[in-house]
Amino acid sequence: MTTFHGVELPELSGTTAVVTGANSGIGRSVSRALAAAGAQVVLAVRDIERGRTAAHAIAGITEVRELDLAALDSVRAFAAGWDGPIDLLINNAGVSGPTLTRTADGFESKFGINHLGHFALTNLLLPHITGRIITVASQAERLARLDLTDPNWEHRPYQPSRAYNDAKFANLLFTAELHRRLTAAGSNIRAHAAHPGLVATDIYRHDGPRRPMDLVWAAALKLLAQDADHGALPVLYAAVAEIPGNSFTGPRHLAHMRGAPQLIDRSEPARNSELAEQLWNVSEQLTGVGFPLPSPTGTR
């Protein structure tokens, strides 16, 4: 048994964990904790050199592999190069930012990386996965107004904060529909979502001129944010605790912004099963990647 900031991790020797965005922030903290418990941790990162630097600072068995969630070719190459079981897939990587940018495939970057990249990766790796899939979401989903007629902001005036909220909302809908499909297929794999709370990581740091809202965020982060190690706790809890499938975990205190991990609630729209299925269908169309497991009951 390994204890990481109050969360007890079981002995994980002989298991393999894949962590996206593992070269910094929450991903690096999760990787360090899992490796300390004995897991072989694969740091799936866009920047190989930064990934190697992170891996060298982690005690345990690690491997660094290139994965750019902003390019479906890279996602496909990562999955095609995989051989062997995956006990834990941690969909952690994410982006924010004040301006509209697009992925190599033309997707709005927050939706494309935070959701579509992980959607494709998960489904492509699913034949190898034996344990749990944890997707890092956020309570920002409560402010979402996802428009599935224009998910990539091609026809609407761009709103960066709403785009981020929508992507985090998509993470929860994806987790719910993934869990439903796994259950229908008779799989024992569990899908969970985790909210790390308010964490002082690079996702809130942006180049360019500072806006008034940036100053507000800087003050809030300085006063209220926890560090990445504590932000990792809900992710680790979702990875090892005995909790029902499709659980949402987050910090216990300060409106789920800080503290020890527990099960938390999600918004009513995030419990909309029809919307979750609609998002799944749109995601399949955009990525060209579908659910690979047979389902005896089919879809709805």
Instruction: List the pLDDT tens digit at each of the 300 positions of the chain.
Output: 788 887 889 999 999 999 999 999 999 999 999 999 999 999 999 999 999 999 999 999 999 999 999 999 999 999 999 999 999 999 999 999 999 999 999 999 999 999 999 999 999 999 999 999 999 999 999 999 999 999 999 999 999 999 999 999 999 999 999 999 999 999 999 999 999 998 766 544 544 455 555 555 555 655 566 889 999 999 999 999 999 999 999 998 666 676 889 999 999 999 999 999 999 999 999 999 999 998 655 455
pTM of the predicted protein model: 0.91
Q: Are 183 and 245 in contact (CB under 8 A)?
A: yes
Phi, psi for residue 10 in degrees, rounded to 5 = -70, 170
Name the CATH superfamily for 10-287.
Answer: NAD(P)-binding Rossmann-like Domain (3.40.50.720)
Q: Which residue has the tokens 């869990």?
A: 179
- How many CA atoms lie less than 13 Å away from 9 in the CB half-sphere? 25
Residues whose CB is less than 8 angstroms from the CB of residue 42 and which lie 6 or more positions away in sequence, other chains included: 16, 17, 18, 19, 62, 63, 64, 65
164 is catalytic: yes
Closest CA to 239 of 25, 24, 26, 23: 26
Listed by start position, the domains of the chain span: 10-287
Token reading at 70: 């902003």
Q: Which of 158, 164, 204, 237 is catalytic?
A: 164
